[in-house]
Amino acid sequence: MEKYDVCVIGGGPAGYAAAMRAVDFKKKILLIEKKRIGGAGIHNGALSSKTWWELSREALALSTHCKSTNVPAPKHHFQILKDEVDKAVTKRRELLEHHMHNINLNSQGDYFHFKHGTAKVISEDIVSIKTCEGENIEIKSDNIILATGSRPRKLEQIPIDEEIILTSDGIENLKEFPKSIVIVGAGVIGCEFATIFSNFGQTKVHMIDKGNRILPFEDEDIVNIIEKNLERKEVLIHRNSKLVEMKVVNKTVVYTLEYDNGSREMFHVEKALVSVGRIPNYESLISESVKIEKDSRGIIDNLTRTSIPNIYAVGDITADIALVNVGELEGRYAIEQMFGKPEKNLIYENISTIMFLAPEVAGVGINEVQAQKQNIPYKAVSIDYSCISRAIAMRNTDGFIKIIVSNDDDMKVLGMRVVGEHASSSIEAVALLISMGKGINELAELIHPHPSIIEGIQECVRMLLNKSMLKPGVLRNAMRCRSFKNGEVKVFEFA
């Protein structure tokens, strides 16, 4: 039986990052992937959906420009766009494959090994593999990393067929833009697809939201902008609506909603997208005899270590944040624990995130919803994009920057949100300062290029220090300040 130092099951972002970090330690590694290298980081996931999002933004910009110049907007052909998405997906996958197949040449050793097949842990150090060629083999490994990711959650009462009623995995089966689509679930993935379809302007989008607003975990000021923009593109948001039935009739979708007052209404659309979260892939991954602790949310781990000392779990299979960057971080951390000492502790508090909406929303640290839930006293200051030269130059002043600091003399940065163009690139400096435990004085003194969106961050911080150039007392609608203490939110004013 072939023996390895570490066997990584799953070649998505978490597993791939783990395997490549093990190469640095010159260990004998086996990576096993049953489908396509890159997992949901590339396919039916992060990269494919972001390529759709980028294309949809270009389409929206073009149709807006045509409208303003009284020229008829061109019709976008689904298949041509889909080919573009496929090209992006293939390019990234081929890069990872090329890299993987040549890694031993570069590291001058026989460290990295790959098998295309489905793996199962049959004892604490033995993994069986059914290869794609139909071979059954067993290998022995001192350490095992579970990185098998997650899949879309399905609801019993909804007949998902990935043709008419889809999950995010079924988007690749579409042959043309549906004339109408209903999106069940108003979380990040649901809202991203609502943005994509509505940007192309060829699909009437409906969204079902059981609460009174989309993105329930996000701050109200952010949600207001996103909802306003979706509704401007004629997205119908069914608020406070319970889905009581969804079925396929004559190859179209019929669904019935029940409202708060008990009344019911029926709707007809061409397709449905069910986006109600993801569930971890651990069924048939581990033999009954291997007693690893898990619950319905995933494998239970303590900083990637499972209840079995030589078995680690990383990425979406665990019960924490499901993001590419988190999976990669965990994969690398698991290897560093095995073969060395991690350079840095694994902390989840200050992970930067982006939501690809209209406009994009970037965040780091906590938001107001989380601070209030945890009863953390804070001050929040925000400045609209209308006060930022770069946004004015882009002729797109839809958005704002918000900084949340502790409500004491230290004013430690707790979090930040940027909604608008260039949001993602603007939060990086703050993310770094938070991770270094620095306060707002350092942020106020950084010199930024002009004109840049990040100048707005500086102005926000200077507001807190009472030394901003633009005075919030004059621009009350565009520069806002709030504080939270003892369960109460108060609007306050600087000079």
Ligand X SMILES: Cc1cc2nc3c(=O)[nH]c(=O)nc-3n(C[C@H](O)[C@H](O)[C@H](O)COP(=O)(O)OP(=O)(O)OC[C@H]3O[C@@H](n4cnc5c(N)ncnc54)[C@H](O)[C@@H]3O)c2cc1C
239 lines the binding site for ligand X (CB under 6 A)? no
Contact residue for ligand X among 147, 223, 226, 357 (CB under 6 A) = 147
Shortest approach of ligand X to residue 492 CB, angstroms?
36
Shortest approach of ligand X to residue 303 CB, angstroms?
16
350 lines the binding site for ligand X (CB under 6 A)? no
33 lines the binding site for ligand X (CB under 6 A)? yes
468 lines the binding site for ligand X (CB under 6 A)? no
Contact residue for ligand X among 327, 399, 415, 420 (CB under 6 A) = 327
Nearer to ligand X, 46 or 463 (CB): 46
Q: How many whole angstroms separate alpha carbon 411 and alpha carbon 404? A: 9
46 lines the binding site for ligand X (CB under 6 A)? yes
Contact residue for ligand X among 56, 143, 198, 281 (CB under 6 A) = 281
Question: Which residues have CB under 8 Å from 188's CB, separation 6+?
Answer: 215, 355
399 lines the binding site for ligand X (CB under 6 A)? no
Helix axis angle, 454-464 to 428-435, nearest 10°: 50
Contact residue for ligand X among 7, 8, 12, 235 (CB under 6 A) = 12
Shortest approach of ligand X to residue 108 CB, angstroms?
28
280 lines the binding site for ligand X (CB under 6 A)? no
Shortest approach of ligand X to residue 227 CB, angstroms?
20
Nearer to ligand X, 328 or 421 (CB): 328
Contact residue for ligand X among 6, 7, 9, 286 (CB under 6 A) = 9
Contact residue for ligand X among 24, 50, 97, 159 (CB under 6 A) = 50
196 lines the binding site for ligand X (CB under 6 A)? no
Total site size for ligand X, rule CB under 6 A: 35
170 lines the binding site for ligand X (CB under 6 A)? no
Shortest approach of ligand X to residue 183 CB, angstroms?
12
Tell me the backbone φ, ψ of residue 15, rounded to 5 degrees. Answer: -70, -40
Number of other CB atoms surrounding residue 64 within 10 Å: 12
Nearer to ligand X, 120 or 213 (CB): 120
Nearer to ligand X, 227 or 316 (CB): 316
Contact residue for ligand X among 34, 206, 271, 417 (CB under 6 A) = 34
Chain centroid to CA 87: 22
Q: The tokens 């958005």 sit on which residue?
A: 399
List interacting residues with ligand X (CB under 6 A): 9-15, 32-35, 39-41, 45-46, 49-50, 118-119, 147-150, 168, 189, 281, 285, 315-316, 322-325, 327
